Amino acid sequence: MAQFFNKGGFVFAEVIVDIAHSQVDKVFEYSCPDSLQVGSRVKVPFGGRKIDGFVIGVSRVSSYPADKIKPVAEIFDEPPALIPECFDLMEKISARYRVPKAVALRLFLPSEMRLGKVHVSIRRYAKFSKEIGLNSSAKKQAEALRFIMKEGEADYARFAEEFGRGAVDALCKKGAIEIEERKIARSPFSGLPENYEKKTLTKAQSDALDNIENSDKRIHLVHGVTGSGKTEIYLNVIAREIERGRTAIFLVPEISLTPQMLSQLRARFGGSAAILHSGLSAGERFDEWWRLRSGEAKIAIGARSAVFAPLENIGAIIIDEEHDSSYSSESAPRYETVEIASFRAEYNGAKLILGSATPSVESFAKARDGEYNLITLTERINGKSLPEIIISDMCKEVRSGNNTAFSRALRQELDETLKSGRQAILFLNRRGYSRHVVCRDCGYVAKCENCDVSLTYHSEENCLKCHYCGARYRMLNACPDCGGTHVLYSGTGTQRVVSDLKTLFPDARILRMDNDTVSGKDGHYKILRQFAEKQADILVGTQMIAKGHDFPAVTLVGILDADMSLHFSDYRSGERTFQLITQVSGRSGRADDKGKVVLQTCSPENHILRYAVNYDYKGFFDNEIALRKATCFPPYSLICRIMITCGDNDKAIAVLKEVYFACEELRKNFPDEFIFLNKMHSPVKKIQGKFRYQVLMRLKSKSLLEKIYDIAVNNSANDSLVYVEENPANLS
Ligand code: ADP
Ligand code: ZN
């Protein structure tokens, strides 16, 4: 290929244009001044328009003649927005999840910055620089000069208003004062109380720290019971890396839900900590992001997307509550946070620390097999005991005439808690709206004969379906086990729980937290703060209240419908149930008073509940992993769904056939890799006017993954979207 050298004064920029389309997913060349830095964002002429682009390289040679190359139209950002690591990650992400490079690069920038909607907020200051002689008639100037000599500096706008713009400008011209522009950071959550007292580490904590420091493994799994002081371990790891001149990323499932975490970080690390969170205003997010990019802040705290924080020289990445499903992205690119984090840990030579009281089965299996370094904390801080879990059999309650949402045991415990002035949390499963079929008389659950997962009721066809194989069953009129007729179970909402509570305990102050009552970026935080300040006695809520809170006065937790997630039609339903019960129970009795938990269920003998009640993670894991092996579910297989969505039903069906045909071919060539393959309507047939179909498969390993992505990419078009989901958390 011919090479053309520049004639001096300019060089060639390699630019990726910000268009999410595979046809323009390549590097374009433009000429640019030789001061242009790699990582800058630019505007370039493209197809008669000017569009945004990212400079991924600058070169002195080009493969095109210079007169064929157009110049860059505009240059943003000083310093460049993208750090060098972005280009490495861009390649990995675009290869792994098969997205255009521009889509991968977008992950690294706050969206409002890409769209040019927010800007740095600047304030001007007048500063004293030197004394000068003044004409006696210049009274205003003399006054202003005296003022600024005394104060040293002043806000320019106010200074000019006070002494007159003419006088201030004159002083400026004469060199007596200087104008300085300063960037003002819009700081989120600034009213937060800072609470941090230096703690003496327990033996278990300092052993954990030594272990993390000395292990030669890249990834560490901290498995510690709730209240075992994992947060303190993370903070110490971060502090150590900061001392070494390195940076850190701290990920939590949902940052606005953990104000305690924020105040601890602020108190300990001050301005070194920056918060990246979708709930911030655009301006706040922009400023926090630049504080990290410029090196002023060294610790990024946030939910999933903060894994892309613009930090260089990362020493540690922490993923707290690593089992949480919010760490899987449900829109393109459909990445697993831990995968991105391990790319970054590898690149930076950083430690990756996963923590949980209830690690995901897949993570724990990796720790068991030696891929991760396992650190176990079995005791709560100060030897506090874990709360006792009492099981209430709700089927028995119904049989004996109790039709309320509360068992007698729970009512009695609530009564005692309120009388002693302590607080209670009542937890309702959000998945209460999932329509599985359970017999209210005996606890029987309808399951698929092929897949051994619970069936879901579809009202429009009045039938039961398996979301894993598409099998259909007739709706039951009576329970096949006991003949009872209360078979369709649909959940109780938080609203009804609150109104029942008001009848039972008219004097209790009740707070409700779910998607209906929470709005705005501080919504969660406000409710949680009210509860923490003891402005209420009972907090009723969904999944949102399960995560990581520390309310010392809470001594009772009621789990109103433990079965809901147990029978959800997902191979992980047992795992999710165990996790939820353990997490929610962990909210009880965290301070000096012993806590209690009442767990309401129709399956009191269920083994998952038994393990949870005994806090027996190991027992749960051994049982679960054996089951996964026997039934060929992940980690012993890979569930892949190729989704086809299209506004035109006929077209969607045509694409579905093509995709399915290609998968069939693949199965012919690799018959041993396939456990299951079929095509079907998606359980939810239409969303936002798009028809939804799917090819579902279960594969023995990940070896065909790339070929499956090929099929999706090859069949995707502008009007019909085809994409792959790996082990999707949600099959709707
Ligand atoms: P986890 O994250 O494992 O659930 P936390 O980190 O929230 O546990 O710790 C539980 C409680 O113990 C918190 O109130 C925390 O302030 C306290 N704590 C943690 N470490 C220590 C320590 N070394 N000494 C005293 N208290 C501690
Ligand atoms: Zn099935």
Lowest-confidence region among 26-30, 116-120, 273-277: 116-120
Q: What is the mean pLDDT of residues 161-190?
A: 77
Scored b (16 or more CB within 10 A) or e, 608-622 reads bbebbbebebeebbe
pLDDT at 3: 46
Q: Please state, as a whole number, how many other Cβ atoms lie within 10 Å of the Cβ of residue 719.
A: 11
Q: pTM of the entire structure?
A: 0.82
Distances (CA, A) of 691 to 202, 652, 687, 714: 56, 7, 7, 19
Q: How far is the CA of 705 from the centre of ligand 2 (A)?
A: 23
Q: Is any ligand 1 atom within 6 A of the Cβ of residue 226?
A: yes
Exposure of 221 in the CB half-sphere (CA atoms within 13 A) = 23
Does pLDDT of 550 surpass 80?
no
pLDDT of 420 reads 92
Whether the Cβ atoms of residue 398 and residue 602 lie closer than 8 Å to each other = no
Tell me the CA–centroid distance for residue 372 and ligand 1, in Å: 24
Distance CA 454, CA 437 (A): 8
According to the model, what pLDDT value does residue 454 have?
A: 76
What are residue 389's phi and psi, to 5 degrees?
-105, 120
Amino acid at 480: P
State the pLDDT confidence band at 195, using cuts at 50, 70 and 90. low
Residue 431 pLDDT level (bands cut at 50, 70, 90): very low
Q: Which residues contact 696 (CB under 8 A, 6 or more apart)?
A: 468, 469, 470, 639, 640, 641, 676, 677, 678, 679, 680
pLDDT value at 5 more than 90? no
Say which DSSP state 454 is in. Answer: B
Task: List the single range of 95-109, 118-132, 633-647 with lowest mean pLDDT.
Answer: 118-132
Q: In angstroms, what CA-CA distances link 190 with 186, 256, 263, 522?
A: 9, 13, 10, 12
CB 372 within 8 A of CB 221: yes
| The pLDDT of residue 26 is above 60 | yes
Task: Calculate mean pLDDT across residues 341-358.
Answer: 97
Per-residue pLDDT tens digits for 36-49: 888 888 889 988 88
**pLDDT, average across residues 696-700:** 94
* pLDDT: which is higher, 128 or 215: 215
CB 6 within 8 A of CB 67: no
pLDDT tier, 490 (very low <50, low <70, confident <90, very high otherwise): low
| Amino acid (one-letter) located at 576 | R
Is residue 114 predicted with pLDDT exceeding 80? no
**Does the beta carbon of 627 sit less than 6 angstroms from any atom of ligand 1?**
no
Asked if residue 582 has its Cβ within 6 Å of ligand 1, the reply is: no
Q: Check if 264 has its Cβ closer than 6 Å to any atom of ligand 1.
A: no
Cis before 100? omega within 30: no
What is the edge-to-edge ordering of all strands in the sheet holding 456-458?
Answer: 456-458, 463-465, 472-474
DSSP assignment of 663-714: HHHHHHH-GGGEEEEEEEEEEEEEETTEEEEEEEEEESSSTTHHHHHHHHHH
Is the CB–ligand 1 distance for residue 381 below 6 Å?
yes
Helix, strand or coil, per DSSP, at residue 78 = coil
Residue 171 exposure: Cα atoms within 13 Å on the Cβ side = 31
Mean pLDDT over each residue of the chain, to the nearest integer: 85
| Cα distance between the two ends of the chain | 51
Looking at the DSSP bridge assignments, the partners of residue 57 are 14
Stretch 719-723: mean pLDDT: 92
- Cα–Cα dist 259/521, whole Å: 12
pLDDT tens digits for 127-148?
Answer: 888 888 878 788 888 888 888 8
> pLDDT tens digits for 631-658?
899 999 999 999 999 999 999 999 999 9
Q: Which of 207, 295, 309 is nearest to 250 (CA)?
A: 309
User: Among residues 474, 23, 457, 548, which one has the least CA distance to residue 251?
Assistant: 548
In this predicted structure, the answer to whether residue 432 has a pLDDT above a threshold of 50 is: no
Confidence of residue 461 (pLDDT cuts 50, 70, 90): confident
Q: Is 202 in the pocket of ligand 1 (CB under 6 A)?
A: yes
Of the listed ligands, the closest to the CA of 547 is 1
226 CA: nearest ligand 1 atom: 4
Assess contact for 541 and 494: CB atoms under 8 A. yes
**Residues 677, 725 contacting (CB under 8 angstroms):** no
**Residue for token digits 């004969």?**
449
Q: Residues in the chain, how many?
A: 732
Q: Is residue 301 helix, strand or coil?
A: strand
Confidence band, pLDDT 50/70/90 cuts, at residue 4: very low
Which is more confidently placed, 684 or 231? 231
Model pLDDT for residues 274-311, shown as the tens digit of each residue:
988 776 777 788 888 889 999 999 999 999 999 999 99
Shortest-distance atom of ligand 1 to CA 377: 3
C-alpha 201 – ligand 1 centre gap (Å) = 9
Q: Is the CB of 569 under 6 A from ligand 1?
A: no
Quick: pLDDT tens for 608-636: 999 999 999 999 999 999 999 998 999 99
CA distance 344 to 251: 14
- With residue 347 as reference, give the H or E element that holds it: helix 337-348
Query: Which atom of ligand 1 approaches the CA of 225 most closely?
Result: 3
> What's the CA gap between 634 and 199, in Å, rounded?
40
Cα distance between residue 416 and residue 655, in whole Å = 61
Structure tokens at 255: 């940052």
Does 358 contact ligand 1 (Cβ within 6 A)? Answer: no
Average pLDDT over residues 499-506: 89
Give the pLDDT confidence score for residue 351 in this predicted structure. 98
**Å from CA of 442 to ligand 2 middle:** 23
Backbone angles phi and psi of 295, in degrees to 5: 90, -5
Question: How deeply is 710 buried, as exposed, middle or buried, from its count of CB atoms within 10 A (0-12, 13-18, 19+)?
Answer: middle
CA distance 39 to 16: 11
Q: For 84-100, what is the mean pLDDT? A: 93
- For the Cβ of 628 lying below 6 angstroms from any atom of ligand 1, the answer is no
| Per-residue pLDDT band at 151 (split at 50, 70, 90) | confident
Overall average pLDDT of the 262-274 stretch:
84
Work out the percent of the chain whose per-residue pLDDT is above 90. 43
Q: How far is 587 from 595, CA to CA, in rounded Å?
A: 9
Phi, psi of 407 (to 5 degrees): -75, 165
Question: Per-residue pLDDT for 519 more than 70?
Answer: no
178 near 127, Cβ under 8 Å? Answer: yes
CA 449–ligand 2 middle distance (angstroms): 6
Q: What is the pLDDT of residues 562-601, one digit of tens each?
A: 776 666 567 888 998 899 899 888 888 877 778 899 999 8
Nearest CA to ligand 1 atom 10: 227
Determine if ligand 1 sits within 6 Å of the CB of residue 550: yes
